[in-house]
């Protein structure tokens, strides 16, 4: 990797510090490089992200039979009254331009006989999903952007460099502290810091996300005084592969878009009992229907049936899903796939305005870590890759209007660099950390999942509080990591307890219907009382 530094210098100064190398971070880095020196940090390898695993595609209203109006309507309908309408208009209208920019730069999406091969997914009334490499859209887009980043002399990237803290004071962010693989702290000063660290769904035991998606950016921002919004809304994807050992991976919505049926354990197709749109209803409707079918049958899964579809089309359009299932003994052209909902997408996050701005000067956020309001209470399929590129550009534009010189940083911020060394045995601390992390995932799965209740949430809250006892047994890196996971879990649980209704992605068993009083967002800033903000 041409512009990767082999040895981390103790201090780096740049105009833009981008944290995270998913679609949002890579796009922000490339665009920001037109205006100044860019540093991009990522805690693992540059390819490790949710973006890399995105399957179905990216939504854009580019077909002559489609229009921005239809896409906006579909997004608002899915969002159950909580979308920020202006943010949705920007997402859809600028999304068309950003996708066109990518194509102009050379990104190749799959083609059909009459031009771009546009797919259909749940909640969309038109074919508007661009995809690449069949169902490997994320991998293709990420690799395309990484190649562009690596060729760009204005961008320096640091892998295995995890941010643990912002350098901030009096409501201003001056950059971040990160730990390399040697656990030594390094300082990255910047005129503008852009957080693009993705979501938190890997804190749940049953998840479609890679293990690193634990919401670290949300915790770091919250600790620095950033507001967080709608943390209770975690989207559970209706069709994640089900196995008894808890392992899970995504079976893309696009599979239903191309005609797969959902079948209950009695062998009956059931989605028409719940929605006129059948299998193509929005995600929350499908997830709830699956939950009801599983509950009534006393089973842990339902099935996706592709047997009636053309076997060759399945193998080429959904190659990675075909291969992953085959490895587990399922030939999806002949066998039904066991599926059940799993934690998939973090709708809430760091509160941002329409230019990615947070309440901390010099700090912006974009992509899944941010909550700009585009998804409301239920994200429309394939809108998140679009959100990444639209709001990454907007975050850079916003930062430009606000930028101070990276040299104007107060020097004594370095006194914040304490407590990163591991003082105990690394093996023992690793073991304790892993044990507690698994415990947290199981608590979240049991009581803070798609179906919640006041008593279950209180129980989760108490159990999470007990977990904080583990922090005393840890030092340095492990303590910081565990604290971040615990903090995000506690935020999700606390917000979930407050929302006494069932809206969008969740069912509260004790408040089973949508309540107009709760057509509101919950916003929280550390040390203050939560605010209920009416839509």
Ligand X SMILES: Cc1cc2nc3c(=O)[nH]c(=O)nc-3n(C[C@H](O)[C@H](O)[C@H](O)COP(=O)(O)OP(=O)(O)OC[C@H]3O[C@@H](n4cnc5c(N)ncnc54)[C@H](O)[C@@H]3O)c2cc1C
Span near ligand X by CB under 6 A; candidates 29-37, 56-64, 409-417, 473-481? 56-64
Report in angstroms how near the CB of residue 275 gets to ligand X at its nearest.
21
**Nearest CB to ligand X, comparing residues 135 and 447:** 135
Query: CA dihedral defined by 422, 187, 349, 531, rounded to 10 degrees?
Result: 100
**Nearest CB to ligand X, comparing residues 309 and 321:** 321
Query: What is d(CA 109, CA 306) in angstroms, rounded to the nearest whole number?
Result: 24
| Per-residue interface string for the shown chain with ligand X, residues 375-414, x marking contact by CB under 6 A | -------xxxx--x--------------------------
Q: Which residue has the tokens 């005393």?
A: 472
Is residue 95 part of the contact set for ligand X (CB under 6 A)? Answer: no
Is residue 55 part of the contact set for ligand X (CB under 6 A)? Answer: yes
- If phi > 0 it is left, if psi is from -120 to 50 it is alpha, else beta; for residue 54 that is beta
Span near ligand X by CB under 6 A; candidates 13-21, 61-69, 101-109, 517-525? 13-21
CB 357 within 8 A of CB 173: no
**Nearest CB to ligand X, comparing residues 101 and 459:** 101
Report in angstroms how near the CB of residue 6 gets to ligand X at its nearest.
18
**Nearest CB to ligand X, comparing residues 14 and 21:** 21
Instruction: Give the number of residues in contact with ligand X, rule: CB under 6 A.
Output: 44
User: Which candidate, 91, 41, 92, 83, places its Cα nearest to that of 196?
Assistant: 41
Provide the 8-state DSSP code for 470: G
Query: What is d(CA 376, CA 83) in angstroms, rounded to the nearest whole number?
Result: 4
| Per-residue interface string for the shown chain with ligand X, residues 143-162, x marking contact by CB under 6 A | -------------------x
Residues between 14 and 33 with contacts to ligand X, criterion CB under 6 A: 19-25
Residues between 163 and 202 with contacts to ligand X, criterion CB under 6 A: 163, 196-198
Query: Which residue among 139, 283, 288, 452 is the active-site one?
Result: 283
Report in angstroms how near the CB of residue 34 gets to ligand X at its nearest.
20
Indicate the pairing of strand 531-534 with strand 234-241. unpaired
**Nearest CB to ligand X, comparing residues 251 and 271:** 251
Query: Cα-flanking dihedrals φ and ψ of residue 304, to 5°?
Result: -105, 130
Two tokens at 464? 């999470």
Q: Could you please report the per-residue DSSP string of 65-116?
A: T--HHHHHHHHHHHTTT-S-HHHHHHHHHHHHHHHHHHHHHT----EETTEE
Report in angstroms how near the CB of residue 481 gets to ligand X at its nearest.
9
Q: Which residue has the tokens 């842990």?
A: 300
Query: What is d(CA 257, CA 121) in angstroms, rounded to the nearest whole number?
Result: 5
Query: What is d(CA 477, CA 178) in angstroms, rounded to the nearest whole number?
Result: 10
**Nearest CB to ligand X, comparing residues 270 and 318:** 318
Angle of CA points 191, 194, 200, to nearest 5°? 150
**Nearest CB to ligand X, comparing residues 163 and 497:** 163
Report in angstroms how near the CB of residue 203 gets to ligand X at its nearest.
13
Q: Is 172 a catalytic residue?
A: no
Is residue 264 part of the contact set for ligand X (CB under 6 A)? Answer: no
Residues between 108 and 137 with contacts to ligand X, criterion CB under 6 A: 137
- Distance set, CA 46 to CA 1, 41, 147, 164, 361 (Å): 10, 9, 11, 18, 27
Report in angstroms how near the CB of residue 45 gets to ligand X at its nearest.
8
| Per-residue interface string for the shown chain with ligand X, residues 339-378, x marking contact by CB under 6 A | ------x---------------------xxx---------
SS3 state of residue 319 = helix
Hey, which residues are catalytic here? 283
Which residues would be at the binding site for ligand X (CB under 6 A)? 19-25, 41-44, 48-51, 53-58, 137-138, 162-163, 196-198, 208-209, 212-213, 216-217, 250, 345, 367-369, 382-385, 388
């Amino acid at each position: 990797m041409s512009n990767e530094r082999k040895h981390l210098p103790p201090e780096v100064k740049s105009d833009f510090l981008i944290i995270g190398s998913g679609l949002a971070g890579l796009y922000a880095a490339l665009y920001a490089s037109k205006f100044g020196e860019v540093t991009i940090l990522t805690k693992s390898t540059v390819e490790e992200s949710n973006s890399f695993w995105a399957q179905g595609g990216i939504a854009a209203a580019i077909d002559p039979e489609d229009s921005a109006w239809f896409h906006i309507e579909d997004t608002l309908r899915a969002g159950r009254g909580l979308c920020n309408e202006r943010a949705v208009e920007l997402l859809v209208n600028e999304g068309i331009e950003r996708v066109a920019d990518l194509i102009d730069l050379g990104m190749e999406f799959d083609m059909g006989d009459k031009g771009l091969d546009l797919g259909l997914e749940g909640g969309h009334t038109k074919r508007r999903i661009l995809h690449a490499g069949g169902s490997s859209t994320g991998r293709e887009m990420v690799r395309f952007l990484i190649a562009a980043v690596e060729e760009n002399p204005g961008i320096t990237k640091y892998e295995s460099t995890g941010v643990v803290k912002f350098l901030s004071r009096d409501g201003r962010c001056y950059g971040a502290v990160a730990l390399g693989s040697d656990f030594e702290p390094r300082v990255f000063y910047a005129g503008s810091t852009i957080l693009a660290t993705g979501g938190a769904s890997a804190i749940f035991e049953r998840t479609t996300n890679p293990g690193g998606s634990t919401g670290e950016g949300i915790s770091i921002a919250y600790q620095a005084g950033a507001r967080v919004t709608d943390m209770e809304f975690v989207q559970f994807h209706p069709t994640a592969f089900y196995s008894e050992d808890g392992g899970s991976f995504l079976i893309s919505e696009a599979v239903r878009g191309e005609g797969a049926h959902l079948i209950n354990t009695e062998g009956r197709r059931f989605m028409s009992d719940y929605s006129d749109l059948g299998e193509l209803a929005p995600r929350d409707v499908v997830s709830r229907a699956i939950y009801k079918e599983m509950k009534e049958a006393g089973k842990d899964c339902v099935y996706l049936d592709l047997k009636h579809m053309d076997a060759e089309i399945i193998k080429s359009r959904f190659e990675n899903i075909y291969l992953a299932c085959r490895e587990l003994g399922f030939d999806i052209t002949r066998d039904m796939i066991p599926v059940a909902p799993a934690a998939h997408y973090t709708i809430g996050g760091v509160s941002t305005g329409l230019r990615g701005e947070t309440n901390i000067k010099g700090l912006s956020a974009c992509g899944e870590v941010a909550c700009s309001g585009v998804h409301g209470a239920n994200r429309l399929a394939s809108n998140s890759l679009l959100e990444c590129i639209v709001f990454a550009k907007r975050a850079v534009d916003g930062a430009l209007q606000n930028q101070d010189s990276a040299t104007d940083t107060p020097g004594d911020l370095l006194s914040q660099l304490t407590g990163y060394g591991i003082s105990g045995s690394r093996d023992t601390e690793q073991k304790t950390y892993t044990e507690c992390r698994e415990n947290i995932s199981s608590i979240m799965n049991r009581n803070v999942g798609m179906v919640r209740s006041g008593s279950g949430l209180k129980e989760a809250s108490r159990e999470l509080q007990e977990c904080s006892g583990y922090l005393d047994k840890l030092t340095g890196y492990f303590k910081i990591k565990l604290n971040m996971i615990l903090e995000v879990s506690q935020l999700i649980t606390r917000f979930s307890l407050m929302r006494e209704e069932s809206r969008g992605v969740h069912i509260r068993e004790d408040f089973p219907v949508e309540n107009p009083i709760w057509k509101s967002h919950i916003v929280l800033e550390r040390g203050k009382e939560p605010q209920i903000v009416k839509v």
